[in-house]
Structure 1
Amino acid sequence: MRATMGKEKKQGAKETEQSQNSSESSSGESSLRRTIESITSLISLSYSIKIFAAKWKTIRTKLEDLNSGLEAVENCEASENAVLSGIVSGICQTVNECHEIARRCVNLSYSGKLLMQSDLDILSARLDLHARNLSEVYNAGVLTRRFAIVVLRPGNGACRDDMRFYIRDVMTRMKIGNAEMKRQALLNLHEALVEDDKYVKVVVELSEIVHVLASFLDFSHDVQIQELSAKIVSVISGFGSCKVVLIGAGIIAPLIRVLECGSVVGKEEAAKSLQRLTENSDNGWSISAHGGVTALLKLCSGGDGSEIRAELVGPACGALKNLVGIEEIKRFMVEEGVISTFIGLTRSKDEVLQINSIEFLQNIASGDEAIRVMVAKEGGIQALVRVLTTRSAACSCKVRETALRAIENLCFRNANSISLLIKYGFVDQLMFFLQNGEVSIQELALKVSIRMCGKSEEAKKAMGDANFMTELVKFLDSKSFEVREMAAEALSNMVTVPKNRKRFVQDDRNMCLLLQRFDPKQVNSGNKKLLFSILMSLTSCNSGRRKIAHSGYLKNIEKLAEDEVSDAKKLVKKLSTNRFRSMLSGIWH
């Protein structure tokens, strides 16, 4: 019986203890709820205050952050925690005092401006202290998610205040120690930024959130949290006005650490961010100082042991391309073997990677003859010609344009490079683009043709053998004045070679198309100076002189001579002199 009574006594004590705990828990929760409601009321009251506007705006921002933090605590299992209860009690006391100060400001019933300003500064500092204390509780990891009253993202066209409230709620959840809550908050933030770029401005205004992202990149051991943070930074870095905020938050060092040690997805997003941040060359030294150049080079060469992925190497390649403008960094890259690495990347089947690698080679060799020679020695010219091969069906028009521009900028500085182009079959590729290319490619091919035949006798002969002149003369009838000019200039260069002159004159169609340009009825006659230059060269050939002299278009040239056109007078004079010499030669014989 005594045993039964003892059991009943223990059971009663246990129930009493549970009841007391429940009562304390309920009291803690109600105190928390009252504090949240009091802050909400105070925020509303603050909007009616007309004086000390800047100070009240700062206080209101701090109250909103504190409110979001407390609402997050309300959704956790540790609201009865003793330390937390003390913090809530302190916040409640400060908020009550703030209510009193707010009423005095509304009613203009304070004793003096200086004293009120001092009171507001003290109040602001106390709110900062409460926020730090609450943050320490978050970081201690004692809060466990109980249920989620997630603030829904405002719809399209929402006002800035609603957007700020949503982002503050997300930021608060990012600070909570629970990993699941952080992941969900990051996911919500990423979706908001991607779907509506107005949220980017809100995030940047709340610069604290950028610092939180930087810490996640740097110290989080949760792969998902790191990846989501990298994705968010990548989105923000795409907005020029936001880059300063990212740099100010010290984002470069964490991005480079992700590049070195992160997951594949994390590395891809970090590389994208670095590519965008290096568009401003002022950030180059910071990236170099944290080992970023070495990390980017390793990714491009596969030196980090991972398989080369276009999604990763493309932006890494783009970042390095942005950095070659800094002479010291360029020299370091060359010493690290970057040229052979990027020549290898031109073989990629990914368009973006091909374009980035070709542009990198072009940029690093620009204005530097020693590096241009190095590019040629290590097979860069052959690689560029290979990109242009017609058999490469995967090669897009944009890639071909990029390769042609690189050849134009890299290969016409010395005769050796031109000889290599001819050796690797570039002349045939150039002819193909003149005959079959899209308009943009054709114009670029014409431009390259001028450069090529203007620099080398070998090139003129090779282009003559490939029947370039027949194609070029067709462009004299183009609707585009620029195209007609380029075709005439290329022809003018080519017919300075005797063999090319004979070949041109032998084709009656060539002569006819050329002489038609002197018909007054032709609208697209173009620059007569270049056309006269071609005819003057052709008069050095007997059959050329005869065909000009016996053509029906000679009278047009003579008419121009009568009109005092100097080039026409020179041509008529040369034709007349040669006819007179022929007559004397016939009489003598």
Structure 2
Amino acid sequence: MAAAEVNNSSDIELLKEVHGLCNNLLSTAALVQSFKGRWMVICARLQCISDIIESLMTSALLQQYYLRLKLSMSQILVSLEEGNELAQKSINMNYGGKLLMQSNLDAFVTKLDLYLRDLEVVKGGIRQHERAIAIAKTTTAGDHNCNPTSQMSSRKDIIWDFFTKLRIGSTEVKKTTLEALIKYMRDDEKAALAVGVDGDLPRLIHLLDCNSQPVREKAVHAISILAVIDELKRSLVADNAHLPLIRVLESGSLFAKEKAVFTLLELTSMSENAHAVASCGGIPLLVKLCEHGTPCATVSAAGTLRNLAMNEHIRRSLYDEGAVEVLISQVTSGSCEAQEQAVEALQYLALGKDDKIRTAIGRHGGIQCLLMYLREASSTKSQEMAIRVLSNLALSATNAKALMAAGFLSQLTELLKVGSPTVQKAAAAGICSLSSYIDLKRQVGEAGCIAPLTQMLEAKDTSEQEIAAQTLSTLLLVNSNRKEFCKEENGIARLVQLLDPRNQSIAKRFPMSALLALSGSSTYRKRILSAGARPHLEKLAEMNVAGAKKTLEKLGGRKLLGIFSRHNLW
């Protein structure tokens, strides 16, 4: 068949006119404030059309395919002019009825989809022709695949072929194409990112609602591979992947549910994605799957609930949907992986100002099962998580008393003595939570934790030193605890060392509060001053560190105040 010549004065100008009008409509659509969802879809289609036309105009093979394009170009031109009118009406809020405008916009999207399909067929023919020429040149001129540019072009061609088949192929073609796409992404670690960047994510997401179960399963499998990549998490949710994924949780096959909930686990690692999933009805389905799903799905569901619980504004919704009871059940009888995810989820649920959630965790048996989990924990990480969630629960007075009665304090004291540094730090924080209650301070001190806390003041990690000082500052408000502390050799000296202004990594308020608690006794005051507290406090006072002046007053009396007055330090 003879190739049709492209008339540079008319035909190419038609392509350029369509391309220009397409870009102009994109700019106009960006100003529309009504029907935003529909205009976002329209803009996505327009951008695809613009990109394809631009690539066609630069192709050396355009003249051989132009006859197939010419009719489409004329139709697209007319439709783009209609689209511009719709955009202006939307901007001016002059569309003669909301339902009518919605119908017109939907019809416009349908037209764009048809044009896009025609353009993709033409582009596919050109790509295949170009690739055949490239292969022929490779055969005659030697292998040039080592060229990075050639490899990049080849990868884009492969991805484009995948998505062309997913757009226009039969159900069976879509299924086999998805299988090939999954293998392609698995075999090449860079391929998945390239698919996410150069592929048509909305088309892949659309297949999650396909009538064919095998296609749905392959689509959710493919998306689960993409969701692992951090650079694609935001894009997938921006393209509303979470909506059909949530529907899969409700009505998909067991395999599809496992892949869908794993995908949501990955996506919700970003806070904004977690809010999107929670606001679209995902919580009750996740709770149900956590309770009744397969072992694999249960782990992913518990992990997704943990990701949601990290967001303070979602915690009450999790509580309202029964997440607390289900998570406690997983801690009690779930697999090791499910237990770990559930404990961490409960840790976040017990945070914040909502005492109702903390009380509910205790009421539903959370304290007993978490204490058991702590006793049986075989790893440092498990011990830390259990201590943290129990410490958060202790922020409720009711829970704190229940924890004391259940032996939590004795466990903390033991771990404070023999645990790893990170476990000791967590244990000190737990003791600090319990000692915040006036009626428990004496009991906490009598449990034998003051000596190991004093030792912790010399830990290598400054964060360990700080939590030890903070805990002691609350315990030393009780006289019996002060006596116990002062029995420790160098205990006061260790607190004084933390006041050194050169050590800026430790908050000074905690050692100062502890020393203030000791300053009521003249004997303790002398020991504090003998340990060198005065020069540190003087320097801190000069630096206007809160509490330094008050501590000096308590330690030095009127004489010290007179010295500072003469030097105009205050």
So what's the TM-score if we normalise by structure 2?
0.63
Identity, % of aligned pairs?
Answer: 23
2:566 counterpart residue number: none
1:200 counterpart residue number: 193
1:382 counterpart residue number: 368
Equivalent pairs, count: 449
1:218 touches 1:257 (CA, 8 Å); kept in 2? no
Deviation digits for residues 399-449 of structure 1 (CA, Å, limit 9, x no counterpart): 3333333333332242x2211121222112222332233333322332333
1:190 counterpart residue number: 182
1:312 counterpart residue number: 297
1:134 Cα deviation (Å)? 11
1:49 Cα deviation (Å)? 11
1:340 counterpart residue number: 325
Within 1, Cα distance between the matches of 2:276 and 2:494?
A: 60
1:403 counterpart residue number: 386
Cα gap change, 1:203 to 1:467, in 2 (>3 Å): closer
1:471 Cα deviation (Å)? 0.8
2:154 counterpart residue number: 162
Secondary structure at the counterpart of residue 303 of structure 2: helix
1:312 Cα deviation (Å)? 1.2
Secondary structure at the counterpart of residue 477 of structure 1: coil
Alignment match of 2:265 (pick from 249, 253, 275):
275
Alignment match of 2:468 (pick from 472, 476, 487):
487
Within 2, Cα distance between the matches of 1:380 and 1:557?
A: 47
Alignment match of 1:514 (pick from 477, 484, 492):
492
2:205 touches 2:244 (CA, 8 Å); kept in 1? no
1:254 counterpart residue number: 244
1:475 counterpart residue number: 456
Alignment match of 1:177 (pick from 170, 190, 196):
170
2:342 counterpart residue number: 357
1:348 Cα deviation (Å)? 5.6
1:228 Cα deviation (Å)? 2.6
Cα gap change, 1:244 to 1:483, in 2 (>3 Å): closer
1:427 counterpart residue number: 409
1:360 Cα deviation (Å)? 2.9
Following superposition of structure 1 onto structure 2, how do residues 31-430 of structure 1 map, counting pairs within 5 Å? Answer: 52=16, 55=19, 58-59=52-53, 95=65, 97=67, 118=74, 121=77, 128=114, 131=117, 157=148, 159-174=151-166, 175-177=168-170, 179=172, 181-194=173-186, 195-197=188-190, 199-207=192-200, 210-215=202-207, 217-222=209-214, 225-239=215-229, 242-243=232-233, 246-247=236-237, 251-278=241-268, 279-281=270-272, 284=275, 289=280, 292-302=282-292, 306=293, 308-309=294-295, 311-323=296-308, 333-347=318-332, 350=335, 352-365=337-350, 366-389=352-375, 391-393=376-378, 396-414=379-397, 416-430=398-412
Cα gap change, 1:244 to 1:559, in 2 (>3 Å): closer
Secondary structure at the counterpart of residue 519 of structure 2: helix
1:217 touches 1:230 (CA, 8 Å); kept in 2? no
Deviation digits for residues 357-390 of structure 1 (CA, Å, limit 9, x no counterpart): 234334445322222222221122333333322x
1:497 Cα deviation (Å)? 2.7
1:275 touches 1:322 (CA, 8 Å); kept in 2? yes
1:531 Cα deviation (Å)? 5.7
Within 1, Cα distance between the matches of 2:412 and 2:377?
A: 15
1:10 counterpart residue number: none
Greater radius of gyration (CA): 1
1:480 Cα deviation (Å)? 4.2
So what's the TM-score if we normalise by structure 1?
0.61
1:532 counterpart residue number: 515
Deviation digits for residues 344-365 of structure 1 (CA, Å, limit 9, x no counterpart): 1223665653343234334445
Within 2, Cα distance between the matches of 1:61 and 1:235?
A: 29
Cα gap change, 1:408 to 1:215, in 2 (>3 Å): same
Letter in 2 for 1:97: L
1:255 Cα deviation (Å)? 2.0
Letter in 2 for 1:463: V
Asked whether 1:449 is paired with 2:431, we answer: yes
Asked whether 1:440 is paired with 2:396, we answer: no
Letter in 2 for 1:196: E
1:427 touches 1:462 (CA, 8 Å); kept in 2? no
Cα gap change, 1:556 to 1:500, in 2 (>3 Å): closer
Within 2, Cα distance between the matches of 1:126 and 1:230?
A: 26
Secondary structure at the counterpart of residue 457 of structure 2: helix
Alignment match of 2:445 (pick from 455, 464, 468):
464
